[in-house]
Amino acid sequence: MKYVQIIFSPTGGTEKVSEAIAKKWPSVDTIDLSAAGTDYSKTIFQSEDVALIAMPSFGGLAPRIALERLGEIKGNGAKCILVAVYGNRAYEDTLVQMEDAAEKCGFQVIAAVSAVAEHSIMHQYAAGRPDSADCSQLAGFAERIDEKLQSGDLKKPVIPGNRPYKKAGGAGLVPKAGSVCVECGLCAKRCPVQAIDPNSPGTTNKEKCIACMRCVSICPQKARKLNEAMVSVAALAIKKACSVHKENELFI
């Protein structure tokens, strides 16, 4: 029996949530769904294994590339816990998308969690989350999930969301490199969708970019930024929804 985290976490918020839940597992392997070029079809689970599948919610939906890479993995009846992480607005259809994808590749969904982390673009929303209170609550969720696992109860939880899923929005905000860019290439190397040309790391392919903000968060020169005026408009549009403190949820 093995415990595995399957994570898509471009800026680290989803990873923090996942680790808070998996903290007391005896030994945990990690599969990084953001690693472009990885052959995920080589990942094969056994029925006695347990997987924690964690993804961020982008505009109320799971990142398509993360779902596609998850779909290459062979679940073989392993139990799984789904975790959708959002920036305090709404996760909408993210969990049901994840549920469908996980079941399609052979996992048995036995629990699901929605959790809040600092917004990856508008950092004023859910700033500092998951905080210590969140982590304590998530650890409590983990204990309840473990009790279910130990009891042998494989009943599928009722997970909120809509089928068909909501329509995906248009192209997101695309980060660009400023004059302080030294073309070190780190952003191109770490981009989950290879939207940055390693031979010209100052540019971004708008068609490929998913606005995950990894390139912005890891740039050692702080050279990559978004259009501030556009960010201000977007922040104002979701201010009302994000101003209410959202709670983490467990579905079991």
The mean per-residue pLDDT over the stretch 19-47 comes to: 96
Across the chain, mean pLDDT equals: 95
The mean per-residue pLDDT over the stretch 234-250 comes to: 95
Spatial distance between the Cα atoms of 4 and 217, rounded to a whole number of angstroms: 26
- Which residues 6+ apart lie within 8 Å of 48 measured at CB? 1, 78
pLDDT level of residue 135 (50, 70, 90 thresholds): very high
The pLDDT tens digits of the residues spanning 1-10 come to 999 999 999 9
β-sheet bridge partners, residue 97: none
The pLDDT score that the predictor gives to residue 15 is: 98
Local structure of residue 121 (DSSP, 8 states): S
Number of helices and strands (H, E) in the chain? 8, 8
Q: Where are the beta strands (DSSP E) in 58-152?
A: 79-86, 108-116
pLDDT at residue 192 greater than cutoff 80: yes
* Domains of the chain, earliest start first: 3-164+246-251 (3.40.50.360), 176-225 (3.30.70.20)
pLDDT at residue 182 greater than cutoff 80: yes
CA distance readout (Å), 66 to 23, 71, 144, 158, 204 = 23, 9, 27, 23, 20
pLDDT at residue 208 greater than cutoff 80: yes
pLDDT at residue 202 greater than cutoff 90: no
Spatial distance between the Cα atoms of 115 and 28, rounded to a whole number of angstroms: 20
Please state the pTM of the whole predicted model: 0.96
The pLDDT score that the predictor gives to residue 203 is: 82
pLDDT at residue 171 greater than cutoff 80: no
The pLDDT score that the predictor gives to residue 170 is: 66
Cis peptide before 164 (omega within 30 of 0): yes
The mean per-residue pLDDT over the stretch 45-53 comes to: 97
pLDDT at residue 169 greater than cutoff 90: no
The pLDDT score that the predictor gives to residue 158 is: 98
* Residue (of 92, 91, 124, 90) closest to 235 by Cα position: 124
